Structure 1
Amino acid sequence: MKVAFVSLGCAKNLVNTEQMMALVRQAGHTVAGEAAGADVAVLNTCGFIDSAKSEAIQNILELAALKDEGKLKKLLVTGCLSQRYQKELVEELPEVDGVLGTGSYTEIVSALEEVMAGGRPFRFGDIDHTQEDGARLVSTPPYTAYLKIAEGCDNRCAYCVIPSLRGRYRSRTMESLLAEARTLAESGVKELIVIAQDITRYGTDIYGKRMLGQLLRELCRLDFHWVRLHYLYPDEVDESLIDVIASERKIVKYIDIPLQHINDGILKAMNRRSTKAEILALLARLRARLPGLVLRTSLICGLPGEGEAEFEELCAFLRTAGIERAGIFQFSPEEGTPAAAMEGQVDPAVAERRVELLVDLQSRVMDAWNERRLGETLEVLCEGFDPEMGCYAGRCYADSPDVDGKVFFTAGGLVAAGSFVPVRITGVSDGDLTGEIEE
């Protein structure tokens, strides 16, 4: 059987796709590079907000078109969209031949065999007890890989459906994570990206205390060059964790710390546990302890109750805090969440305009940071030659894959993808940096 995989959404979802690919290959089947010509296409979806749902539906329709053309035999849909809209997916999209929920990834092989035999698998296992260990067929470039240290979430933010799709927070054991990390290091991975919905709570469920700092110390003993962290929730970042980040050379001084807002009333309505004063104090401590720190955050515009005063407070925060990287999102009233039923819903057109204003403000903050890099020499992870730009492309410590910018640079000779090189920054261009390799 030839099986093609399409993975949408976040890096955590990509890890699940990689686990399914490994199971398929272990069963003796072929993992195809493209859906056209495959027996089955497996679409691993995101279903977090409206834009993600739209992207998933569009991909289903595109794969269905391949079926109509005789270029694909079956279509199996997995992931968050499946978990969230179980019956609707089957009833409203007859093109779909089977669905697996987020608790049934490990059933992929038997589901594929069932669908090829003419069945229509419909499997939804326990989302609170999933198998997170096991082999992966890593699909990222050979020098970069993700390490998912936990699944699920207990934060219960008022706007978020993730706990209902991914279950309660559950850490993987330290032993399993270090074994997987060793395998990744031995395979040549140089940039390890530690991920979970909330990495700061790692270990609290199985060890009774926060263990992220100890895990990071162990990971830094392995043969990685960079260790990158996604995502740290502000209310769980303590001094001991800051000590680890400050003292471990391999941990890049880049922290993705979702704040979502700064106004106390909106934070409370979101069911976030930090106040404005606590957030400002934390950012000040991080800046003081971690010279050169680059912060990434996510912010939501248009939550019910956000008036002009609350929005202006958010704008003022961005102007003064100097957050170097930010994803700005429009509030999406997701059914089943407390926020969707709140009074004081903001007109979507108003929320959209606020997003545009924040994006413009944030771009100026990012441009100013980039301009301050002129004349500096940065260590850059080369990702290969970019034929469109006519030069090499890579990332410095301040750039996480897929969400941040690039460093485009020239070199007098060949530069291998996956190598770290010194690049003197000579220019800025639309959020990216340009430069030349320093021989």
Structure 2
Amino acid sequence: MHLYIESLGCARNQVDSENMAGQLRQAGWSMTRDPAEASVIVVNTCSFVESAINESIDTILELARFKKEGGCNRLVVAGCLPERFREAIADALPEVDQFLGTGAFTRIKDAVTGNLAGGTCLLPDPDRIPIGETVARERVQSHTAYLKIAEGCSRHCTYCIIPRLRGRQKSRPMNHILDEARELIAAGVKELNLVSQDTTCYGHDLPEPVGFDTLLARMAELAGDTWIRFLYGHPESITDDVIETVAAHRNLCPYFDLPVQHAATKVLKKMGRKYVKQQLLDLFHRIRSRVHGAAIRTTLIVGFPGETDADFQELMEFVEQVRFDHLGVFIYSDAEDLPSHRLPGHVSKKVARFRHDALMARQMEISAGNLASKIGKTLPVLIEASPEPHLYEGRFILQAPEVDGITFVRTLPGGPTATIGQIATVKITQTLEYDLIGKVL
């Protein structure tokens, strides 16, 4: 019984896919990386923006051909696509045998065997699904892992459908998180990336509320030399206690992922974000003044309804002022089921694309300048791949997986070597716009 899982979208989806794979492995299924070998194919989908919806549908149709050309006799689609489009997606994709919403991942064993009652779509309310312990995950990589600490989001950003897809925030009990962290570290993981929809808001909804800083401190105590990083923080929920906790522990990456989306006050208000530019500037100043060598990553949205040339210019000046270490820029993705769809002043795709490209061009220059300061420094680098002899790819402590640049590492015949999955000491000799180049010491 061979099974293939295709995971699309964000790191949180990757955790869901690994958990499903773990359930199926325990049930006796054998995983394959070749869909042509699989008797069952599972696609874990994303539907956050239009491009993700299109990618999910294209992937489903591409893999559906193995029902005719290969040995696949069952195709299961899980996650955000069926959660967003409900029963309508079953009518649009008759090739699929079973759809599972975001509250139905624990039913994957029945879904792949065809033992689910109640029709093609299983879409339980995500708010009613408890979150806690997980099975042993079938991880994609051995040296780095994402660790989900909560599910859902209780905010109401007008451009975002996540609360409808994932429900209100539900934090995992801390002991379950710490137990999973211990298991991952014991298995050789060198980097744990804490993820959720609103990571820095962790713990406020627990029966006995606890702060995210407390979780970070407990993680630091048990992690040893393993790097601990948090992703998907929120400017409204990060506290000075979190900043001080990161500063106090060498194994907590001095890396702050805080998507702010915009800087113009009226745009932020339309987005449903409850802060203004000066509060962001004050926050970033506190981080950089209290955490030595801190890196700040953010994401921005351009082309939001009502964004004027003046608003965009304010955003550009904000980026110039903060000089983010890492920056992602997205063009606003409209949809009829979003509150932002009803806002006046929609921006043309041409103008939005121009603003996107202008911001990214400036960020490339900023990034190159930031990285130039690393030349001559010795940095710890987690080695991840070796595309050719004596050349390795990795990330230093201020580069997160998948979203940031990489560090190219060279070794010489007969000289010090690097090992995939281990942390090497590397002297930086060159830089690119987003990447570093160095040699092993």
Contact in 1 for aligned 2:418/2:440 (Cα 8 Å)? no
In structure 2, C-alpha distance between the alignment counterparts of 1:245 and 1:74, rounded to whole Å: 47
Amino acid at match of 2:438: G
Name the counterpart of 2:122.
Answer: 123
Local SS of the residue matching 1:426: strand
* 1:104-148 Cα shifts (integer Å, max 9, x gaps): 000111111117x99963211121122432213242321111110
8 Å CA contact retained: 2:201, 2:237 = yes
Q: Which residue of 2 aligns with 1:140?
A: 140
Task: Give the aligned length.
Answer: 436
Q: Which residue of 1 aligns with 2:61?
A: 61
CA distance in 1, matches of 2:289, 2:208: 30
1:269 aligns with 2:270: yes
1:421 equivalent to 2:424? Answer yes
CA contact (8 A) 2:244 2:291 kept: no
Helix, strand or coil at the partner of 1:251: coil
CA distance in 2, matches of 1:323, 1:378: 20
Counterpart of 1:90 in structure 2 is 90
TM-score scaled by length of structure 1: 0.96
Residue 414 of structure 1: CA displacement?
3.2
Distance in 1 (alpha carbons) for counterparts of 2:387 and 2:117: 45
| Shift >4 Å, 4+ stretches | 117-120
CA gap of 1:119–1:340, structure 2 versus 1, over 3 A, is closer
Deviations 1:338-367 (A, max 9, x none): 111101111121111111111111111111
Residue by residue, what CA displacement relative to the aligned partner does 1:284-315 show, whole Å, maximum 9, x if unpaired?
11110012111110100011110000000000
Letter in 1 for 2:374: R
Q: CA deviation at 1:66?
A: 2.0
Deviations 1:374-430 (A, max 9, x none): 11111111113222x850111001211111111111122432112212111111234
Matched letter for residue 426 of structure 2: V
- Give the aligned partner of residue 348 of structure 2: 347
Contact between 2:80 and 2:165, CA under 8 Å: does it hold in 1? yes
Show the counterpart of 2:379: 378
Deviations 1:167-197 (A, max 9, x none): 0100000111111111111111111111111
Q: Which amino acid in structure 2 is aligned with residue 428 of structure 1?
A: T
The correspondence of residues 203-282 of structure 1 with structure 2, limited to 5 A, is: 203-207=203-207, 209-224=209-224, 225-282=226-283
- Kindly provide the CA deviation profile for residues 214-244 of structure 1, in whole angstroms up to 9, marking residues without a partner as x: 1111111123421011121111122111111
Tell me the equivalent position of 1:149. Answer: 149
TM-score (norm 2): 0.95
- The separation in 2 between residues aligned to 1:87 and 1:207, in whole angstroms, is 35
Per the TM alignment, residue 333 of structure 1 is displaced from its structure 2 partner at its CA by: 1.1
Contact 2:194/2:228 (CA < 8 Å) preserved in 1? Answer: yes
Please name the residue that 1:323 is paired with: 324
Out of 199-208 and 294-303, give the one that drifted further. 199-208
Report the equivalent of 2:312. 311
SS of aligned partner of 2:321: helix
- Whether 1:296 and 2:297 are equivalent positions in the alignment is yes
Aligned counterpart, 1:333: 334
Secondary structure of the corresponding residue to residue 305 of structure 1: coil
**Conservation of the 8 A alpha-carbon contact between 1:21 and 1:136:** no
User: Per-residue deviation at 1:11?
Assistant: 0.8
Compute the displacement of 1:29 (Å).
2.1
Find the aligned partners of 2:169 and 2:431 in 1 and give their Cα distance: 41
| 1:356 pairs with 2:357 | yes
SS in 2 for 1:36: helix
One-letter identity of the residue aligned with 1:423 = V
Quote the Cα distance in structure 1 between the aligned partners of 2:208 and 2:136: 28
Task: Name 2:26's counterpart in structure 1.
Answer: 26
CA distance 1:430–1:276, shift in 2 (3 Å)? closer
Segment of structure 1 superposing worse, 407-416 or 391-400: 407-416
CA distance in 2 between partners of 1:138 and 1:131 (Å)? 21
In structure 1, runs of 5+ residues without a counterpart are none
In 2, are the aligned partners of 1:138 and 1:145 still within 8 Å (CA)?
no
State the one-letter code of the partner of 1:415. A
Partners of 1:120 and 1:71 lie apart in 2 by: 24
Provide the rounded CA distance (Å) in 2 between the counterparts of 1:67 and 1:114.
Answer: 15
Does the CA-based 8 Å contact 2:200-2:237 persist in structure 1? Answer: yes
1:397 aligns with 2:397: yes
- Cα distance, 1:209 vs structure 2: 3.8
Specify whether residues 138 and 178 from structure 1 end up closer, same or farther in structure 2 by C-alpha distance, changes over 3 A only.
same
Q: 1:431 aligns to what?
A: 434
Structure 2 stretches lacking a partner, 5+ long: none
SS in structure 2 at match of 1:304: coil
| 1:59 to partner: Cα distance | 0.5
CA contact (8 A) 1:159 1:270 kept: yes
CA contact (8 A) 1:114 1:121 kept: no
How far apart, CA to CA, are the structure 1 residues paired with 2:65 and 2:421?
37
SS of equivalent to 2:329: strand
Q: CA RMSD in A?
A: 1.7
Q: What is the percentage of aligned positions where both structures have the same residue?
A: 38
Question: Per the alignment, in what secondary structure is the counterpart of residue 430 of structure 2?
Answer: strand
In structure 1, how many angstroms separate the alpha carbons of the residues matched to 2:420 and 2:30?
A: 27
Distance 1:110 1:229 in 2: 34
How many angstroms does 1:434 deviate by?
Answer: 0.6
Q: CA–CA distance in 2 between the matches of 1:10 and 1:129?
A: 23
Structure 1 counterpart of 2:94, which letter? P
